[in-house]
């Protein structure tokens, strides 16, 4: 086998990738298209999805580094008769200091501007961030007698770091609003502007100063500009697919199916599907399925958001929203589906007549979020270790151990969490006099447990006679689960028998005839907060 190119894990500088033997998936066609068809653009994508590498590639493209583009689509662009090198001002807003007050924030912005000024050998002439920014663009353009290329990466990072500290967010936003306003006022000094970020704020906030930007985040033509399509995966990583399949003792087709299930599924237009680049690169490096993208960031903001909004993990599967659902509010006041989508935890599964269907993109994200729900919302401390082996338990057809693990999960939740949920359900259902701790609570825990282990799990599957509660599958074992809640040990035993009888009578498992189905009726004792009884039946 020929020597494979190195994997550019964590490398965001285009020049390093192209000169030091790293693999590069050619995305330069999109960059050339943007340059040919406009001047001022904005692109939002989740973290670690290739935004910074795109900014670096634009820098090299406008700086005339022709040797870096040999063999790439953009090589022709650099050889055009009318091609001109342009001065490039680049700002990475994720490097700003935001925890030292307004004056410290202003000083941090000024330092970034001074770095650019020193590079071009000019002075700024002002200590106010907005005025200094305008001076930078004007003075660079006049010195080089050429309009400037402005590249701003992670424009919203200062706000996202303090998303729940509303006073601080307000201060930062006002500074950024004044700062970014200069992009519009300096238009005559600019050849091209490209900005990236995770979120798009409403027109009442930062973006009111940037209303001349063309937002390409949801445009079909640029849906695959970042991330890997399956075609790109198969063509660029073919050698790694062969190597990894051999190492894992799988066929190439089996490996591709698993990678697709685990890391594919991101979509920004409801049509094209993309592999997460960070996770894909790390997978080929380790030859092991892990939650690389999720674990590379700090989920504390997401945990805080889940707690504040009392979210349920299954509530976002197949969530219907309007096409403009992300543009209704600032990120700290956004709806849960908007917050999760802009953060990369939800994606567009389908588009239909002005509406979108959202869902978790793949197993990596779903399992990671499910674990956050268990640990962050329900304080199920120590369940991560259980989740890591649950997949093996089900792969062995061990339904008894599945029941025991669920029971241990129920007992691991602190009493005050149960009391909190009881009060919530009592308040929600006071008029209907429903028992305070509803069946949905126990369903949510079981779903989260199964999803946290990357198991293919679905709810309310339709049969020809009804709908099953939960179905999951591993290694050819099909589990059909019906869960019922009762009060007291005797009642929960009867509930388990009734649940198993319902599976049989409604034919929930008939579609698995001859496929090794395991029927499982669970009776949960609401008073004891444990599994009261489990009844199971194996159908070869």
H helices of 63-128, where? 75-78, 101-120
Which of 137, 155, 139 has its CA nearest to residue 41?
Answer: 155
User: Do 317 and 414 lie in a common domain?
Assistant: no
Q: What is the mean pLDDT of residues 206-231?
A: 87
Which of 295, 276, 314 has its CA nearest to residue 457?
Answer: 314
Domain with 115 in it: 14-222
If one counts every other C-beta atom within 10 angstroms of the C-beta of residue 382, the result is 10
Joined together, the tokens standing for residue 104 give 């410290």
Is the residue at 381 inside a domain?
no
**Average pLDDT of the chain to the nearest whole number:** 90
User: Do 312 and 424 lie in a common domain?
Assistant: no
User: Do 291 and 305 lie in a common domain?
Assistant: no
Is the residue at 338 inside a domain?
yes
Q: What is the mean pLDDT of residues 436-464?
A: 82
Is the residue at 371 inside a domain?
no
Instruction: Report whether pLDDT(103) > 70.
Output: yes
User: Do 184 and 78 lie in a common domain?
Assistant: yes
Joined together, the tokens standing for residue 13 give 């500088």
Question: For the chain, what percent of residues have pLDDT higher than 70?
Answer: 93
Q: Residue 224: its pLDDT value, please? A: 98
Q: How confident is the model at residue 297 (pLDDT cuts 50, 70, 90)?
A: confident
Which of 142, 127, 109, 133 has its CA nearest to residue 182?
Answer: 133
Which is it for strands 355-359 and 319-322: parallel, antiparallel or unpaired? antiparallel
**H or E stretch covering 174:** helix 166-185
Question: Are the C-beta atoms of residues 19 and 254 closer than 8 Å to each other?
Answer: no
DSSP state of 171: H
134 dihedral zone (left: phi>0; alpha: psi -120 to 50; beta):
alpha
User: Do 259 and 209 lie in a common domain?
Assistant: no
Q: How confident is the model at residue 203 (pLDDT cuts 50, 70, 90)?
A: very low
Q: How confident is the model at residue 15 (pLDDT cuts 50, 70, 90)?
A: very high
| CATH number, position 473 | 3.40.1350
Q: What is the mean pLDDT of residues 323-329?
A: 75
User: Do 129 and 151 lie in a common domain?
Assistant: yes
Question: Are the C-beta atoms of residues 121 and 25 closer than 8 Å to each other?
Answer: no
Nearest-angstrom CA–CA distance, 285 and 237: 12
DSSP state of 208: G
Determine if the pTM surpasses 0.85: yes
Nearest-angstrom CA–CA distance, 288 and 286: 5
User: Do 400 and 513 lie in a common domain?
Assistant: yes
Give the sheet arrangement for strand 148-153, strand by strand: 88-92, 148-153, 190-197, 40-44, 214-215
The C-alpha torsion from 444 through 446 and 447 to 448, rounded to 10°, is 80
Question: Are the C-beta atoms of residues 378 and 413 closer than 8 Å to each other?
Answer: yes
The Cβ-side half-sphere exposure at 139, using a 13 Å CA radius, reads 19
Q: How confident is the model at residue 207 (pLDDT cuts 50, 70, 90)?
A: low
H helices of 65-165, where? 75-78, 101-120, 129-144, 157-160
User: Do 238 and 216 lie in a common domain?
Assistant: no
CA-only gyration radius of the chain, Å: 27
Question: Are the C-beta atoms of residues 508 and 537 closer than 8 Å to each other?
Answer: no
User: Do 193 and 58 lie in a common domain?
Assistant: yes
Of 222, 246, 263, the last residue of a domain is 222
User: Do 129 and 238 lie in a common domain?
Assistant: no
Which is it for strands 456-462 and 530-539: parallel, antiparallel or unpaired? unpaired
Q: Residue 379: its pLDDT value, please? A: 79
Is the residue at 451 inside a domain?
yes
Of 278, 295, 312, the last residue of a domain is 295
Instruction: Report whether pLDDT(433) > 60.
Output: no
Is the residue at 436 inside a domain?
yes
What does the pLDDT look like over 361-416, one tens digit per residue?
999 999 999 988 888 778 776 677 777 789 899 999 999 999 999 999 999 888 88
Is the residue at 193 inside a domain?
yes
Q: Residue 378: its pLDDT value, please? A: 82
Q: What is the mean pLDDT of residues 116-139?
A: 94
User: Do 217 and 249 lie in a common domain?
Assistant: no
SS3 state at 524: strand
Q: What is the mean pLDDT of residues 5-30?
A: 98
User: Do 261 and 171 lie in a common domain?
Assistant: no
Range in 88-97, 302-311, 403-412, 530-539 with the lowest mean pLDDT: 302-311
Q: What is the mean pLDDT of residues 142-171?
A: 91
Is the residue at 4 inside a domain?
no
Of 242, 260, 295, the last residue of a domain is 295
Domains contained in the chain, number: 4
Is the residue at 3 inside a domain?
no
């Amino acid at each position: 086998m020929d020597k494979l190119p190195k994997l550019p894990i964590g490398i965001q500088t285009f020049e390093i990738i192209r000169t030091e033997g790293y693999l590069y998936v050619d995305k330069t066609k999109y960059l050339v298209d943007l340059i040919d068809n406009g001047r001022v653009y904005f692109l939002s994508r989740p973290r670690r999805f290739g935004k910074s590498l795109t900014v670096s590639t634009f820098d090299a493209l406008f700086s005339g580094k022709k040797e870096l583009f040999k063999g790439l689509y953009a090589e022709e662009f650099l050889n055009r008769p009318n091609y001109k090198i342009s001065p490039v001002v680049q700002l990475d807003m994720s490097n700003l200091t935001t925890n030292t007050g307004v004056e410290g924030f202003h000083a941090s912005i000024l330092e970034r501007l001074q770095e650019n000024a020193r590079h071009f050998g000019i002075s700024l002439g002002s200590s106010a961030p907005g005025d200094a920014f305008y001076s930078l663009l004007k003075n660079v353009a006049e010195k080089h007698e050429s309009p400037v290329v402005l590249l701003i990466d992670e424009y919203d990072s200062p706000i996202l770091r303090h998303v729940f500290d509303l006073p601080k967010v307000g201060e930062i936003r006002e500074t950024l609003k004044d700062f970014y306003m200069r992009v519009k006022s300096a238009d005559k000094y600019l050849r091209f502007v490209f900005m990236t970020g995770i979120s798009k704020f409403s027109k009442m906030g930062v973006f009111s100063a940037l209303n001349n930007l063309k937002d390409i985040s949801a445009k079909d033509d640029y849906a695959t500009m970042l991330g890997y399509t399956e075609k790109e995966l198969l063509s660029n990583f073919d050698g790694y697919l062969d190597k990894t399949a051999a190492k894992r003792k799988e066929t190439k087709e089996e490996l591709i199916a698993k990678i697709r299930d685990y890391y594919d599924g991101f979509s920004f237009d409801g049509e094209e599907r993309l592999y997460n680049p960070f996770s894909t690169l790390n997978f080929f490096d380790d030859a092991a399925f892990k939650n690389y993208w999720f674990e590379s960031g700090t989920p504390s903001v997401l945990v805080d958001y889940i707690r504040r909004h009392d979210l349920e993990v299954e509530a976002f599967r197949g969530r219907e929203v309007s096409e403009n659902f992300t543009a209704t509010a600032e990120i700290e006041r956004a709806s849960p589906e908007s917050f999760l989508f802009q953060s990369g935890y939800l994606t567009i599964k389908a588009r239909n007549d002005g509406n979108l269907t959202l869902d978790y993109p793949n197993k990596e994200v779903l399992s990671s979020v499910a674990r956050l729900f268990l640990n962050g919302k329900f304080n199920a401390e120590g369940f991560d270790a259980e989740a890591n082996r649950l997949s093996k338990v089900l792969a062995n057809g061990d339904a008894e151990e599945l029941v025991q693990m669920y029971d241990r999960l129920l007992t691991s939740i602190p009493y005050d969490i149960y009391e909190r949920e009881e009060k919530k359900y009592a308040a929600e259902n006071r008029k209907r006099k429903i028992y305070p701790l509803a069946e949905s609570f126990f369903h949510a825990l079981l779903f989260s447990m199964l999803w946290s282990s990357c198991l293919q799990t679905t709810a309310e599957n339709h049969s020809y006679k009804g709908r099953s509660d939960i179905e999951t599958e591993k290694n050819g074992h099909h589990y059909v689960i019906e869960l019922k809640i009762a009060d007291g040990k005797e009642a929960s035993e009867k509930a388990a028998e009734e649940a198993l009888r319902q599976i049989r009578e409604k034919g929930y498992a008939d579609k698995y005839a001859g496929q090794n189905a395991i029927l499982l009726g669970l009776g949960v004792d609401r008073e004891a907060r444990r599994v009261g009884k489990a009844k199971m039946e194996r159908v070869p």
